[in-house]
Amino acid sequence: MNKDILICGVGGQGTVLASKLIASAFMHDGNTVHSAETIGMAQRGGSVTSHVRIGDSAFSPLIPDGKADLILCFEPAEAVRNLKYLKKDGTVIVNSQPVKPITETLENTGYNGSEMIEYLKKKCKKCIVVDANTLCESLGSSKFFNIAIIGVAAGSKELGLDNDAIVKQIETKVKEKFVEVNKKAFALGFSIGEKHAA
């Protein structure tokens, strides 16, 4: 299998864990996997991306422009920022809740993400918009959205892995006390994703 998945958001939203789970799930499925993260100075409130590359013909650690099959994004503007990576017929799954940088708060320009979501809908062949706050309401915190979005990807069949493959990784890779709530987040996302399955 050859597949390129970009996971992006803002520092602190759980991009790294999400990409680790996806990478190891594909590996357990017998695939060659490479990945890369942007870490360092960019981590503090900055844009964060993880590139997960599945298959034997991926040599660059980063996904080349226009090659990503799937973008999972935790923030509307970050999805637009990384849209250059998406294939022409690729899919974007995006959280509609914005994260305002401090520069935005200082200038109070009223950014709320909606303009970005409209643009994504216009540009992408398939764009699944999920409100993380609504989805995660019953979980007590939207910080579990990073797992829920993998559920959406799996449920909509965009990920190309089944339910069990991810759940197994949650059980082995996530801290024990968070396993149950993350499994619940995944299941919630999965059921939303199923509604978007082609």
Q: Which residues make up the interface to other proteins (CB under 8 A)?
A: 10, 23-24, 27, 32-47, 57-62, 64-67, 77, 80-81, 83-84, 88, 100-106, 108, 111, 115-116, 119, 123, 141, 143
Calculate Rg over the CA atoms of the chain: 16
108 or 138: CB nearest other proteins: 108
Query: What percent of the chain is helix, strand and coil (3-state, nearest 5)?
Result: 45, 20, 30
Shortest CB 160 distance to other proteins, Å:
19
57 or 138: CB nearest other proteins: 57
23 or 170: CB nearest other proteins: 23
Report d(CA 106, CA 22) in Å as an integer. 37
Report d(CA 127, CA 182) in Å as an integer. 24
Shortest CB 195 distance to other proteins, Å:
27
Shortest CB 81 distance to other proteins, Å:
5
Q: List the one residue out of 29, 5, 35 whose CA is nearest residue 161.
A: 29
151 CA to centre of own chain: 10
